Amino acid sequence: MIAIPKIRRTLLMGVFLLAAGSLAIHLTLHSPFHPPVGQRFTNSLASFFALLDAVLVTFLFSRKKTAAWGYLLNGLLVIYGTVLMTHFGQSHSTLFKGFPLSLLYHATTPEIIIAWADFCAGAVLYRLWFMEPAVKED
């Protein structure tokens, strides 16, 4: 028999660790503590979204009643993050300008992959909450 609660705990830890890793990356790249004057809001927003993912989404996924809200918020954060990071990468990149596949080569591609891995782990975690073990009828 598959131990679904153990799998849920492992996936919950994975969701948290991926979000905590993205928070560490955002705090390193976009420090909200000492930004240039024109970038205070942008840097704070990037770090806030990553903190929201690490704390609130992990909490929402930890209970069956709130797992749907965690799934929704996780998906929204991944979509917003993908759009914003792609725009940031394209607007700040001088490498491969005009190249059709430049989206694959800009500097934010690894962070986007981390965000989508976080979403995929959250999607499996959401589905596991509503998966009932098979009961053999006699």
Residue 106: give the domain boundaries.
Answer: 4-129
Structural domain count of the chain = 1
Residue 35 has pLDDT above 80, yes or no: no
Number of other residues whose CB lies within 10 A of the CB of residue 136 = 4
Residue 138 lies in a domain: no
On whether the CB atoms of residues 115 and 21 are closer than 8 A, the answer is no
Query: Which of 30-34, 37-41, 66-70, 83-87 is modeled with the greatest confidence?
Result: 66-70
Contact 12, 128 (CB under 8 A): no
Residue 136 lies in a domain: no
Q: Rounded to an integer, what distance in angstroms lies between the CA atom of residue 110 and that of residue 125? A: 23
The predicted structure's pLDDT at residue 39: 67
The pLDDT tens digits for 85-103 are 887 777 666 655 555 555 5
In the chain, what is the straight-line distance between the N-terminal and C-terminal CA atoms, in Å? 18
* Token pair listed for 105: 């080569």
In a domain, 134, yes or no: no
Report if residue 137 sits inside a domain: no
Q: Does 135 map to a domain?
A: no
Q: Tell which phi-psi region holds residue 36, choosing left (phi > 0), alpha (psi between -120 and 50) or beta.
A: beta
For residue 106, being part of any structural domain is answered with yes
71 within some domain = yes
The answer to whether residue 120 sits within a structural domain is yes
* Distance from the Cα of residue 128 to its chain's centroid: 19
44-71 per-position pLDDT tens digit: 788 889 999 999 999 999 999 999 999 9
pLDDT in tens, 108-128: 888 899 999 999 999 999 999
pTM above 0.85, yes or no: no
